[in-house]
Structure 1
Amino acid sequence: MDLSTQTEVGKSSRPARALLRLLDVLVIVAGAAIAARTYSEPVRAGYDSALVAFTLLFSVVLFPAFDTHRGARRHLFWRCACVPALGWLLALAGAVVLVSAMHRPYRPDVVWIAEWALVSGAGLIALRLTESALGLRRAEQGVHSRAVAIVGSGAHCRQLLRKVESTPDSLYRVATIFDTGPEVGAAAGNVPAFRDREGFAAFVRRYGVEELWLALPLAEVETILGFTELFRNDLINIRFIPDVSGLALFDGEMVDLDGTSAINLVGSPLSSDALAKKDVFDRVFALFALVGISPVLIAVALAIKLTSRGPVLFTQRRKGANGKVFDIYKFRSMRVHTPTAGIVKQATRNDPRITRVGAFLRRTSLDELPQFFNVLRGEMSVVGPRPHAIEHDTLYQNIVDGYIHRYRIKPGITGWAQVNGFRGETDRIEKMQGRVEHDLYYLSNWSFGLDMRIVFMTAFKGLVHRNAY
């Protein structure tokens, strides 16, 4: 569970983050204008304006992914200079490649681009250094490090302890633990552990511990009330961080419902902000990909048309996010045939329905390329659980635990299951269970970095696989 009480240096409220994003935009636009003013030749307004617009779009996607507005007390040079510079250069380079590909006669001026990169890069770094300095000043004026005592046991308590210790620039440190478990175990790290309440309370008072976190299951009401009573005369913050691992499908994170806190037991593990960022990245990536692979799309379409009768594209009804049905696009890899109503027969090894060109397309995953149009239409994502035929959904959702929760987000062209070998025919229930387990892992551990890892794994080792036929 996420610590709803945790704050970090430089982590701002939503209005503050919106202001910082706006300042990023102003710095980028100002850098482009300054570079254009100092350059001797006039900048070609039409194409260069498009370049500035696409650069802003890329920065809106990449900067949050790089978490560039997160201040730091440590690794100041890396967090405030290297990371913003890398994100800025990637955004600028991506926009240059995209605009040059879309408008082939256009060639951006190298001098203008270089000066723009330097001016805006320096401004973005200066903005983050200022933000970090203000955050450090606020931290110094407040509490430097709040000592915390945790009451709990088992995996939930250990996870809470690891989260505090592994969070960069955390303003909390665990001073002691009261172990409520039935057996005495080794204390985690150098944190002293107690099983005696009076000894625990004496330690908390002696060392001025300011926070008491009750990491307990909902059923342990008596324990919760007991520790609340134990510290009734102490000026100590007591916070309840319930262990809902036995109830929640994913991590049981805390969410804010118009000012009312709630714990997700069954729900989308991705926040609305994360889904919005993922959607923007998907559409930009799909547009860029379609422009880049357009010669391949034309060549494949011609090969299909010249070697077999029938349409170039094959469409099939699939379920998308929240069960919404859409038509998925693929290059046709089979001979035209009449399927049995209500039955979808998966392709098997040496399937006579598959054409020569189709066998190559399926083996190299080129038949999936038209799905970038699905991504551009907002029906699919670049990375996500692979969608199955609706008939298979009806079958497996009743026999594979958690199957239906794959549709909490948009299905993807590639996914964590596919790059780990779970692709192709699912002729055994164990194969589908393996897919679902990997899909649920992806949902529980989603990050922009994980998406990029899957994209690279797909490009380098996931396109061709022995199970693809």
Structure 2
Amino acid sequence: MNPTRRIHQYWSVRELTYRILDGTAVLAGALLAQYQTGGNHDRYLLAGLAATITFHIVAEITGLYRNWRGISSERELLCAAFTWLFAIPFIITLGYVTDSFNFFPAKAAAAWFAATPLVMTGLRAALRVALRRLRAAGYNTRRYAVVGVNNLAFRLVEALDNSPDLGLNFLGFYDDRPEERTGAIPEEIGKKLGSVSELIQHAKQHRVDMIYITFPMRAEDRIRGILNQLGDTTASVYIVPDFFVFELLHSRWTNVGGLPVVSVYENPFYGIDGFVKRALDLALGSLFLALAAPLMIAIAVAVKWSSPGPVFFRQRRYGLDGREILVWKFRTMTVCEDGPNVQQAVRNDPRVTKVGAFLRRTSLDELPQLFNVLRGEMSLVGPRPHANVHNEEYRRIIQGYMLRHKVRPGLTGLAQVRGYRGETDTLEKMLGRVDLDLRYIREWSLWLDLKILVQTFWTVLRGQNAY
């Protein structure tokens, strides 16, 4: 019986450096608190060591020590800061359980908890700058080649060239096939250096450090033959599966029972990212609701006075993972449609009341959805939810339409601030909206959410496509 094969993650020098820097930051924060408030130096040092161990345990949960190459420094620094924030309750609990916080004044604890993330993010930012400068000067770089001349290979080289912090220098392509079969290589990307046999020789001569194979997965025998030959070299070899040319939503590697698998469609908000986004929803959602409460009371009175019917209108929509939720709105029409036939509002729609027209134009009718946000059914930013009947209609004619439900629907979204707010009376408009929704999921960051929220206010003030 063959033993289970696993993909191992080894600690690199870079990861070890990060762990040492983070531990230094935690200890420095504790000693800084001791310096500011006085007290026994050894006790503060012991507390700092215990907090360092707790922080590293929490960091395994948040994925802080993943490979951050090619990922924005903003996301790395936010992850570090929120990992510390997430670790604080555990540190406090440990302190009280061990009765070691008796000597810790509240002022000292506050100084420690505030200073640590500043030192931690500062050290990480400094390391990133140092590595970038080293690689620009030619240090800590590696030479790589690509086997296969095809579109996947071109995309790979472009992606690596757009990530200079990886420290990879491209040599060229190797392929046994003539240009008549592979097509020409764009000049700005690179050139063909030779055949696979020549690559083997170059690898044996240590002229190549890393090799990426981009042949289609159906060429299994061909790939196996190349791997057998490369086994006589010391080059690092990687296979780039051609299924990556398909639409992937936050793909990541994991393993099931020791077998490596890659996610194709996945919710991007896992680990610390999900914690950060939910924290933003709760903090800003509560703030917005408190500020809007007087206005919402006035709107409720106006809606009730303007026409017969309920103040609120609830409609069934698809939420996270396609689960049905009830979305709240102020009633803006003389009807409350939530059945198999829901007609989208159009310009000068006779069903819209006078008060409703103003609410729709200013998007004030959406304010009750803040309750959906606080309940965890929606997010402040995400793909706007459609009526269920429209979901069932478009999922049949737009490929990948249901992928927009891999995240919570939002009060506003990227599509709404890019001109796709309001009626989608043509298939082209819906295609444009879905394309931006999926782009939001692929490119999500905390900064993108904040940017969309600011742009939403400007879009609402212009009243574009709202009726």
TM-score (norm 2): 0.71
Contact 1:10 1:70 survives alignment (8 Å): no
Aligned counterparts of 2:406 and 2:249: Cα–Cα separation in 1? 14
Task: Please name the residue that 1:178 is paired with.
Answer: 174
Aligned with 1:162 (options 158, 161, 171) = 158
Deviations 1:65-112 (A, max 9, x none): 9x999999xx9xx98xxx78xx89xx9xxxxxxxxxxxxxxxxxxxx9
Q: Return the offset for 1:361.
A: 0.7
| In structure 2, distance between residues paired with 1:378 and 1:224 | 47
Q: Is the 8 A contact 2:361 2:460 kept in 1?
A: no
> In the alignment, is the contact (CA less than 8 A) between 1:6 and 1:171 conserved in 2?
no
- In structure 2, the CA distance between the partners of 1:20 and 1:318, relative to structure 1 (3 Å rule), is farther
Question: How far did 1:431 drift?
Answer: 2.2
Distance 1:389 1:22 in 2: 52
Amino acid in structure 2 at the alignment position of 1:169: D
Is the deviation greater in 349-358 or in 165-174? 165-174
Q: Aligned pair count? A: 400
Q: CA deviation at 1:321?
A: 0.8
Residues 119-164 of structure 1, C-alpha deviation per residue, up to 9 Å, x if partnerless? 8765434334556788989xx9xx9333322223334223322333
Q: CA deviation at 1:385?
A: 1.1
Equivalent residue in structure 2 for 1:383, among 381, 384, 405: 381
Separation in structure 1 between the aligned mates of residue 262 and residue 221 of structure 2, nearest angstrom: 21
Aligned mates of 1:370, 1:175 — CA distance in 2: 57
Q: Which runs of 5 or more structure 1 residues have no equivalent in the other structure? A: 39-59, 92-111
2:281 aligned partner, one-letter code: D
1:334-349 paired onto structure 2 within 5 Å: 334-335=333-334, 337=335, 339=337, 341-349=339-347
Q: Give the whole-Å Cα distance in 2 for the aligned partners of 1:334 and 1:24.
A: 57
Q: For 1:216 and 1:269, locate their aligned partners in 2 and report how far apart those are by CA, in whole Å.
A: 29
Asked if the contact 2:381/2:413 (under 8 Å) is kept, the reply is yes
Q: Is the CA contact 1:416–1:439 (under 8 Å) kept in the aligned structure 2? A: yes
Q: String of CA shifts for 1:183-216, please: whole Å, max 9, x gaps.
A: 2324545x55324233333333334422222123
| Structure-2 separation of matches of 1:290 and 1:340 | 26
Distance in 1 (alpha carbons) for counterparts of 2:405 and 2:17: 31
1: distance between equivalents of 2:114 and 2:433? 43
Q: For residues 317 and 29 of structure 1, what CA distance do their matches in structure 2 show?
A: 55
Q: 1:70 to 1:268 in 2, by over 3 A?
A: closer
Match of 1:149 in 2: 145
Asked if the contact 2:345–2:423 (Cα under 8 Å) also holds between the matched residues in 1, the reply is: yes
The CA distance in 2 between the partners of 1:25 and 1:403, in whole Å, is 49
Deviates more, 1:283-292 or 1:371-380: 283-292
2:230 maps to which residue? 231
Equivalence for 2:279: 280
Distance in 2 of aligned mates of 1:424 and 1:23? 49
Task: Indicate yes or no: 2:312 matched with 1:313.
Answer: yes
Partners of 1:210 and 1:332 lie apart in 2 by 65
Q: 1:318: Cα distance to partner?
A: 0.9
The SS at the match of 2:372 is: helix
Indicate how the Cα distance of structure 1 residues 129 and 367 shifts in structure 2: closer, same or farther if over 3 A, else same: closer
Q: Is the 8 A contact 2:145 2:174 kept in 1?
A: yes
Structure 2 residues not aligned, in runs of 5+? 1-7, 39-57, 86-105
- Per the TM alignment, residue 234 of structure 1 is displaced from its structure 2 partner at its CA by 1.3
User: What amino acid maps onto 2:401 in structure 1?
Assistant: Y
Instruction: Give the secondary-structure state (helix, strand or coil) at the position aligned to 1:148.
Output: strand
2: distance between equivalents of 1:393 and 1:118? 51
Contact 1:9-1:71 at 8 Å conserved across structures: no
Which residue type is aligned with residue 429 of structure 1? L
Structure 1 pair 250/178, CA: closer, same or farther in 2 (3 Å)? same
**1:250-286 Cα deviation digits (max 9, x unpaired):** 2583421355321233x22525223343223222221
Shift, 1:292, TM fit: 2.6
2:415 matched to which residue of 1? 417
Structure 2 counterpart of 1:46 = none
Contact 1:10 1:69 in 2 (8 A): no
| SS, match of residue 294 in structure 1 | helix
How far apart, in 2, do the equivalents of 1:25 and 1:408 lie? Answer: 40
Q: What does 1:48-447 correspond to in 2, within 5 Å? A: 123-128=116-121, 144-167=140-163, 169-179=165-175, 182-188=182-188, 193-246=192-245, 248-250=246-248, 253-258=251-256, 259-265=258-264, 267-268=265-266, 270=268, 272-273=270-271, 274-335=273-334, 337=335, 339=337, 341-447=339-445
SS at match of 2:159: helix
Q: Distance in 1 between matches of 2:224 and 2:443?
A: 34
Q: CA deviation at 1:375?
A: 0.8
Aligned partner of residue 183 in structure 2, secondary structure: coil
For 1:330 and 1:342, locate their aligned partners in 2 and report how far apart those are by CA, in whole Å: 19
Distance 1:284 1:238 in 2: 46
Residue identity in the other structure for 1:182: T
Q: CA deviation at 1:10?
A: 5.3
Supply the distance in 1 between the matched residues of 2:450 and 2:157 (Cα, whole angstroms).
29
Letter paired with 2:364: L
Identity %: 31
Distance change >3 Å, CA 172–CA 345, structure 1 → 2:
same
Are the structure 2 counterparts of residues 192 and 373 from structure 1 closer, same or farther at C-alpha, using a change threshold of 3 Å?
A: same
Offset of residue 333 of structure 1: 1.1
Query: CA–CA distance in 1 between the matches of 2:452 and 2:460?
Result: 9
Structure 1 residue 182: deviation in Å?
0.9
1:412, distance to aligned residue in structure 2 (A): 0.9
Q: Tell me: CA distance 1:284–1:338, structure 2 relative to 1, closer, same or farther (3 Å).
A: closer
